[in-house]
Amino acid sequence: MRAELEGRALPSGRPLQLALHIDGVRLSSFPLHHSRTRRRVRERVPRRVRAPVPAPLDDPWVCVEEVPGQLGLFAPWPRSFTREHGRRLRGRRHIAGLPRLLAVLQEMAAERGVGETWMFHTGDCARLALASRPPDEDLVRPEALVDLPQMRPTLLEALDRAGLLARWRPRLVPSWMSRGPGSCRECLAWTNEREQRCALCLSWGMDRSPRPCHRCGRVLPLRDDHCRRCVLFLSETQYDLDGVALAGGDQLWFGGPFAPHLRVDHDRAGEPDGLYGWRRLQAKRRAAIQTSRAARLVSPHLALPGQLDLFPLARDWSRVDDRRLPALTPSAQEVLDGFVAHIRERGWRRRALSTSIRTLRVLVAHLGAEAPLREEDVRLLARRHDFNGARVVNYLRVTGRLLPDRRSDAASARARRLADTAPQPFRAAVHRWIDVLSGQATRPSVPLAPTTVCAYVRRVSPCLRAWYEAGIGDLRAVTGEHVREALKALKGEEAKALATPLRSLFRALKREKLIFRDPTRSIVLSGIRKLPVPLPDDHLHGVLDQLPGTRNQLSFVLAAVHALSTHDQRGLLLDDVDRSQGRLTVRRPGRLHHTVYLDDVTFRLLTRWLTERHRRWPTTTNPHLLVTALTATDDSHPQVNPQAITKALRRLGLQITRLRVDRILDEAKHTRDPLHLIRLFGLSPITAMKYLRAAHPAGTRPDPISE
Ligand SMILES: [Zn+2]
Ligand SMILES: [Zn+2]
């Protein structure tokens, strides 16, 4: 207020309550803390009321101390202690093991957070338990603890911890209990009959001689060294879902119509039947397996989509224990179910493919099915005994869950390795050339087969090394003269075999703008043209009968009669066969389709092959006409291997190419019309003229455009 009156600026902040200052009136500075203190009245117990604490008693009549070594006249009689007995023992000294037991009880009291009263009662019981031991026995028998008035489980645990507890003794059944009406003498089941053995035990003992049982020791008829009761008990408790197994004793059961038995009953349909017996034990086993499976954890190594490798490393699948698999995730289970359904759909037997199913199960259990699986992993796992990967790879590829293996292409790897061994200045250029050849360069190009790429690099390598040794340090320094020099030493086909890859190398480098000009542009090779040669006349005699298998015979006829090459035959599709019209269409990429008109022999062989193909692989989805056992079951629908066509013929000294050439040449001998050859065999005009010239050397003019 004063500041306001004087016109001064007030400091910022909260407004404060002002206080009056009057003599005799004082405000508390901490009103919230102000409270009245309550006076505590200490209650005192009058001296006369407090009596001296009575000394602990020792009543010698409770648990009479027996003389060590003295034999009892009777077996120890069951006692029943009360809390009063415990009180009367408090003064007894020299109870062996008592200090140890009391120390353990103190420990337990601290653990449980209980107080004096608990110690008081357990201490009494501890004294009783130790004092009631028979003479000469240090350990307390667990079955004797039932005599105690209270705290039996606690004492059991304390004695066990203190090492004062004897082992449980098996429950003994006194002989008088198993005799007379009631229980069966052998299986101890309650039958309530006067018979000493129940009907089931009687039939059990029919053809078995009594010997001591390995488990219970009684002399009874045995199977697998066990009496009937023990066999039943063991099979009941093998998967103890119901908690039948007891510590120190066996569960008894009813006899008569409710008795458990192992016999397999069959109903009219021949199915196992009955409340007890085989089916129930099987169900228990299944339930136990399901429980243990459900308790399994999911693999900690699940691969997630988009997860990157820190560094590439091949997994060692040989150390995986396939009996203890991690639990399957729902998506992994889905993949596995899909694979099994796929197997059924294709008509394959599931049992025959159990190795493939196992492979996929191990893979998805450990890696999950969220991310695509690596082909390398499938192949590594399939190397193990009883594992199979081919079908798994196919299925994963078809469903788009496969990460194809880049390293599986041996030819590409070899080409790269050759490039690495090239002279240092040329290395990068050769690698770039391989990129261009395999279609991975900066600009798109048609990739060559990896084997061709590898062959090109292999042929060029010695030449590059020679140039390097001659002092050329860069491919830009190579001139046409160098190339001509390298080719001069070679002749004919060999020169051509080097010239082609060299030309490819420099064209690729020019295209990639690594060199300025192509030194091979001006190189022209003079070559000799080989004319087609016919086969000897008697060569084909009786070949058809010697060839094993319909497919080989068909291949032979297609080559020898219709001049189809191995490549043509591999590419034939089922849809290309038109049996009603007697025609076969041959697809040749980049050219017109060629139609083959089937003759009688070919038609018959084709029909026989189609029948055999359908009989052997009724569910195959491979669209090719020629299939083998391998390609018929392969879902990636590959063509047959060229070896499959040529192998049987080569055993007879025949080649498909020679057969084809011989056939065309034979036809050319009977005609001078190139159009006829073109129409009949689907040849190009140049090839047709080549055959005509070979067939009629005298009658044709030299080719004006031939080199
Ligand atoms: Zn019995
Ligand atoms: Zn037994």
Distance 97 CA to ligand 1 centre (A): 45
Q: What are the sequence ranges of the domains in the chain?
A: 83-162, 180-291, 317-403, 410-511, 537-695
Average pLDDT, the chain: 82
**What confidence score (pLDDT) does residue 219 get?**
92
* CA of 204, nearest ligand number: 1
Ligand nearest to the CA of 227: 2
- What separation in Å is there between the alpha carbon of 229 and the centre of ligand 2? 6
Whose atoms come closest to the Cα of 221: which ligand?
2
Task: Report residue 290's pLDDT band, with 50, 70 and 90 as the boundaries.
Answer: confident
pLDDT at 227 over 60: yes
Distance (Å) from CA 262 to ligand 1 centroid: 13
Residue 493 CA, distance from chain mean position:
53
pLDDT of 25 reads 61
Those residues whose C-beta lies under 8 Å from the C-beta of residue 665, and which sit 6 or more positions away, are: 532, 533, 534, 691, 694, 695
pLDDT in tens, 638-688: 889 888 899 988 888 888 888 898 889 888 888 888 888 888 888 888 888
- Amino acid identity, residue 706? S
Question: Which ranges constitute the DSSP H helices of 248-320?
Answer: 278-294
Q: What is the mean pLDDT of residues 351-355?
A: 86
**Per-residue pLDDT at 458 exceeds 60:** yes
CA 139–ligand 2 middle distance (angstroms): 29
Q: How do beta strands 265-266 and 226-227 pair?
A: unpaired
Q: Which numbered ligand comes closest to the C-alpha of 199?
A: 1
| Stretch 377-391: mean pLDDT | 87
What was the pLDDT predicted at 527? 58
pLDDT in tens, 498-521: 888 999 999 999 988 888 888 888
Q: Which ligand is nearest to the CA of 183?
A: 1
Q: Map residue 575 onto helix, strand or coil.
A: helix
Distance 228 CA to ligand 2 centre (A): 7
How far is ligand 2, taken at its centre, from the CA of residue 189, in Å?
13
From the CA of 223, which ligand is nearest? 2
> In this structure, which residues have their CB less than 5 angstroms from ion ligand 2?
213, 215-216, 227, 230
pLDDT at 617 over 60: yes
CA of 205 from ligand 1 middle (Å) equals 10
Are β-strands 402-403 and 373-374 bridged in parallel, bridged antiparallel, or unpaired? parallel
For domain 537-695, give its CATH number from 3.40.50.460, 1.10.290.10, 1.10.443.10, 3.40.190.10. 1.10.443.10
Q: Would you say residue 473 has pLDDT above 50? A: yes
Looking at the predicted structure, is the pLDDT value of residue 274 above 50? no
Rounded (10°) angle between helices 98-112 and 152-162: 120
> What are 186-216's pLDDT values in tens digits?
888 888 777 678 888 888 888 888 999 998 8
Which one has a higher pLDDT value, 508 or 76?
508
First to last CA, the chain: 122
Which percentage of the chain shows pLDDT scores above 90?
A: 20
Task: Determine phi and psi for 496, rounding to 5 degrees.
Answer: -65, -40
Whether residue 261 contacts residue 200, with contact meaning beta carbons closer than 8 Å, is answered with yes
Complex confidence, ipTM: 0.86
Residue 30 has pLDDT above 80, yes or no: no
Q: Which of 132-136, 156-160, 240-244 has the lowest mean pLDDT?
A: 240-244
How is the chain split among helix, strand and coil, in percent rounded to 5?
Answer: 45, 5, 50
Query: Rounded mean pLDDT of 598-622?
Result: 90
Ligand nearest to the CA of 250: 2
Q: How many Å apart are CA 149 and CA 164, to the nearest integer?
A: 19
- CA torsion sign for 421, 426, 432, 435 is negative
